[in-house]
A and B are shown apart, each in its own frame.
Chain A
Amino acid sequence: MNSNNKEITVVAFCCLYCAYAAADLAGSMRLQYPANVRIVRTPCTGRLEVEFFLKAFENGADGVLVAGCEEGSCHFKEGNLVAKRRVNYARKYLQESGLEPERLRMVNVSSAMARQLTDHIKDMVETVRKLGPSPLNKAKRQQQQEIKS
């Protein structure tokens, strides 16, 4: 996933009804956000299972952002609250497995909050950059370098 050794990739699961629409709006408003983010549209953050987050890390993500509706205004009533609990549960697993739990974060925005969404993305990318590439990817890169040299 990371072609550039210095760069990191953040997978952002965005709810169709809020964060994904906000990302669309950010585009219309010409708001910039780092190109490190890969947006995955989801019907509701409540659709996301614990294993989705873990699999994202297994498959090369350095960070995972979950962006759902503001609390109290989920299109499916409480999907975002379910997601919040699952994110917290997955963070526990990450920590136990040796990954910093800060690599997984949930944020809440409405479809009108394009600026806030881009700020969240920037902040997440910054956090992950400070942590450095995921150790899973470090090992893989080392292997690749060993093969090359």
Chain B
Amino acid sequence: MIVAERKTIPEIVDIIKGHKNILVLGCGTCVTVCLAGGEREVSIMASALRIASRAQNLGFKVSELTIERQCDNIFIEQAAEAIEKADAVLSLGCGAGVQAIAERFAKKPVYAGLNTKFLGILEERGTWTEKCAQCGDCVLADYGGICPVTRCAKHLLNGPCGGSREDRCEVNPNRACAWQLIYKRLKDIGQLDRLEKISMPKQWGTSLSGGPRVIIREDHRI
């Protein structure tokens, strides 16, 4: 899922200054699960902004709404009335959600209240970790299902770097060395021979380097 983290109240106050009626708009999907932009976080954020407005005499009013998914027109429709009524929208969706709302309401300022961080998983209660950098040409099969692009600090396709201590990464000892994990995993599944192959440099043309990527499925187009 997409993992995000809230911006601070002073940052948001700076972003929304000048507007009188702010709609804090939540999203019920990924950012709800990572506790950044669901109904509860919307309620807390709206409350904190109201307190900031009154405590610092900023003079804006705050309303709140959470829809099922901000990146989907069908659900955005449900927020249309509330969005029309507000001067500006503070979206607690991921970056895609914010942009989907902005595209749908051409004349309405729409701001991001979150920093969208990465594609990851809930590691344990209250801890999320990054697992995939969306390179566009997945090589997980060669590495026992552990992504060296994302999880090795040096993105090494032919690792390890030689700096790992015990099973820790030399760049940050709080992190496991991805290559240690890859070795262990390949050993466990009896595929250590995969490491004998030298991996060629990755073709980054499938990644973000050429601008936003598009996927077209002709069989689904009308």
Q: Which A residues contact B (CB, under 8 angstroms)? A: 49-51, 54-55, 57-58, 93-94, 96-99, 134-136, 139-140
Q: Is B50 an interface residue (CB 8 A)?
A: yes
Q: Report, as a range, how many residues of chain B touch the other chain.
A: 10 to 19
With A55-B47, A93-B9, A93-B48 given, is the CB distance from A98 to B55 under 8 Å? yes
Main secondary structure of the interface of B (DSSP, over half): helix
Q: Which A residues lie within 8 Å of B54 (CB)? A: 58, 135-136, 139-140
Q: Is B22 an interface residue (CB 8 A)?
A: no
Q: Which B residues lie within 8 Å of A93 (CB)? A: 9, 44, 48
State the Cβ distance, A52 to closest chain B Cβ, in Å. 10
Q: Which B residues contact A (CB, under 8 angstroms)? A: 8-10, 40, 43-44, 47-52, 54-57
Q: How far is the CA of A58 from the CA of B61 in the complex (A)?
A: 13
State the Cβ distance, B212 to closest chain A Cβ, in Å. 33
Name which residue of chain A comes closest to B57, CB basis: A139
Name which residue of chain A comes closest to B58, CB basis: A98
- Asked if B44 and A97 make an inter-chain contact with CB atoms under 8 angstroms apart, the answer reads no
Q: Which B residues lie within 8 Å of A134 (CB)? A: 55
- Asked if A97 and B9 make an inter-chain contact with CB atoms under 8 angstroms apart, the answer reads yes
Total contacts A to B, CB within 8 angstroms? Answer: 49
Q: How far is the CA of A58 from the CA of B50 in the complex (A)?
A: 7
Given contacts A58-B51, A58-B54, 11 further A-B contacts (CB under 8 A): A50-B44, A51-B47, A54-B44, A55-B47, A93-B44, A96-B10, A97-B55, A98-B52, A99-B55, A135-B55, A136-B51
Name which residue of chain B comes closest to A99, CB basis: B55
State the Cβ distance, A51 to closest chain B Cβ, in Å. 5
The 8 Å CB contact of A98, one of B44, B47, B51, is B51
Main secondary structure of the interface of A (DSSP, over half): helix
Q: How far is the CA of A32 from the CA of B93 in the complex (A)?
A: 50
Q: How far is the CA of A135 from the CA of B57 in the complex (A)?
A: 9
- Asked if B51 and A57 make an inter-chain contact with CB atoms under 8 angstroms apart, the answer reads yes
Name the residue among B9, B52, B55, B57 with the largest chain A CB count within 10 angstroms: B55
Q: How far is the CA of A66 from the CA of B43 in the complex (A)?
A: 20
Q: Which A residues lie within 8 Å of B57 (CB)? A: 139
- Asked if B40 and A97 make an inter-chain contact with CB atoms under 8 angstroms apart, the answer reads no
Q: How far is the CA of A134 from the CA of B51 in the complex (A)?
A: 10
Q: Which A residues lie within 8 Å of B40 (CB)? A: 49, 51
The 8 Å CB contact of A54, one of B8, B10, B48, is B48
- Asked if B55 and A54 make an inter-chain contact with CB atoms under 8 angstroms apart, the answer reads no
Name which residue of chain B comes closest to A49, CB basis: B40
With A93-B9, A96-B8 given, is the CB distance from A51 to B52 under 8 Å? no
